[in-house]
Amino acid sequence: MSGGKGGALREQITNFEFDSAPGPGPARANFAVSALPTSRSPGGRGGRRDPLLPREQRDELLRRAARGEDDVSLSLAFGIAAHQVAKLRYNNAVKIRKLRQIEAGPAAPVEEGDEPPPIECAFAVLAERVERLRGGFFRLDGRPAGLKHIMAVANEVRLERGEPAIPYPGIVTPPPSERE
Q: Give the model's pLDDT for residue 37.
A: 44
Residue spans of the domains in the chain: they are 55-104, 118-167
User: How far, rounded to the nearest angstrom, does the alpha carbon of residue 35 sit from its chain's CA centroid?
Assistant: 39
Distance between CA atoms of 55 and 51, rounded to whole angstroms?
Answer: 8
- Cβ atoms 128, 80 nearer than 8 A: no
Q: Give the model's pLDDT for residue 45.
A: 55
Residue 131's DSSP bridge partners are: 139
CA 74, 77, 83, 87 torsion-angle sign: negative
For residue 18, what are the CA distances in angstroms to 22, 23, 33? 12, 14, 15
Q: Give the model's pLDDT for residue 20.
A: 56
CA angle, 147 as apex, 146 and 150 as ends, to 5°?
A: 90
The tens-digit pLDDT sequence of the chain (180 residues) is: 455 555 555 555 555 555 555 556 555 555 444 444 444 455 555 567 788 899 999 999 999 999 889 999 999 999 999 999 999 999 999 999 888 888 877 655 555 555 568 888 888 899 888 988 888 888 999 999 988 899 999 999 999 998 888 888 877 776 666 655
Q: Side-chain half-sphere of 70: how many Cα atoms within 13 Å?
A: 2
- Cβ atoms 130, 123 nearer than 8 A: yes
User: How far, rounded to the nearest angstrom, does the alpha carbon of residue 89 sit from its chain's CA centroid?
Assistant: 10
